[in-house]
Amino acid sequence: MKFNHTFFLGTLFLLSGTSSLWAAEPMQFRDLFNGKDLAGWVDVNTSAKTWSVRNGLLVCTGLPIGVMRSEKQYENFVLHIEWKHMEAGGNSGVFIWSEGTVPHEKQLPKGLEVQMLELDWVNLHAKQDGTPQPIAYVHGELFGANGLEVIPDNPRGPRSKSIENRCLGKGQWNTYDVVCVDGTVKLSVNGKFVNGVRQASVKKGYLCLESEGAEIHFRNIQILELPPGIASPEQTAAIVVQ
């Protein structure tokens, strides 16, 4: 299954205010997952059994908790990713502008996390008084992890919550389109922009897919790279030596 790129190309045209983005060479989405193997991805702190390809899908067992990262770094881009949880209350996410390594005594990297939670998570992890957690958890919460800082569009503390619940539950596919430009991130959930952050303290780094305790499937992971912007050396993740 492929998705229609026309909306995003039009959006980028409007944001740029000029057609010069296409002057040199037309930009195109390209696959980050080929549906056959894990080419282009590097395990960081999971295991050889955590990630596999099954019937053209990228399958994550959820154990151990950790991530695998992209081979290369990205600065400005549009990321398209489709995912579905296979267990009630499943937890996962994708990190952008990540260091691609995991700090000592941590399981997850520094980066900007785009949250992927199954709908029952809020019921299975109720507060001590029995009150359910905010539904904002499950439909694309955005936040800086392990030291990355952002300004949330829709604050829930330091995190940004979506303004509308659009995620589907266990066994159903969800689509995230993530527009990342010069430290600003806008997230579309199942065809509608509902969340964002700005002034990220890191503006160039690795992509990481998260394994966090439950089986999750991914497909149609694609990226449209945009022209470079204003990321300084201090705002760029260090290159991870293989």
Percent of the chain with pLDDT over 90: 83
The answer to whether residue 38 sits within a structural domain is yes
The answer to whether residue 58 sits within a structural domain is yes
The answer to whether residue 89 sits within a structural domain is yes
The answer to whether residue 14 sits within a structural domain is no
205 is in which domain, residue-wise?
A: 27-229
The answer to whether residue 31 sits within a structural domain is yes
Q: In the predicted model, what is the mean pLDDT of residues 41-53?
A: 97
pLDDT digits over 22-32, tens only?
456 789 999 99
User: Tokens 């039009």 appear where?
Assistant: 10
- Residue 174: band (very low, low, confident or very high) from pLDDT cuts 50, 70, 90: very high
Q: Which residues are CB-neighbours of 16 under 8 A, at least 6 positions away?
A: none
Q: In the predicted model, what is the mean pLDDT of residues 44-64?
A: 97
pLDDT digits over 65-104, tens only?
999 999 999 999 999 999 999 999 999 999 999 999 998 8
pLDDT value, residue 4: 56
Q: Alpha carbon 126 to chain centroid distance?
A: 25
The answer to whether residue 34 sits within a structural domain is yes
Entry pTM = 0.90
As to burial, measured by CB atoms within 10 angstroms (0-12 exposed, 13-18 middle, 19+ buried), residue 117 is buried
The answer to whether residue 5 sits within a structural domain is no
- Residue 19: band (very low, low, confident or very high) from pLDDT cuts 50, 70, 90: very low
> Which segment of 9-18, 70-79, 109-118, 219-228 scores lowest on mean pLDDT?
9-18
Kindly state the tokens that stand for 143: 């936040």
The answer to whether residue 16 sits within a structural domain is no
- Residue 13: band (very low, low, confident or very high) from pLDDT cuts 50, 70, 90: very low
pLDDT digits over 221-242, tens only?
999 999 999 899 999 999 998 6
In the chain, what is the greatest distance between 2 CA atoms, to the nearest angstrom? 59
Q: Nearest to residue 114, comparing CAs of 133, 135, 89, 91?
A: 91
What is the domain count for the chain?
1
Q: In the predicted model, what is the mean pLDDT of residues 97-122?
A: 95
Kindly state the tokens that stand for 130: 């029995």
CB 59 within 8 A of CB 83: no
CATH assignment of the domain containing 49: 2.60.120.560
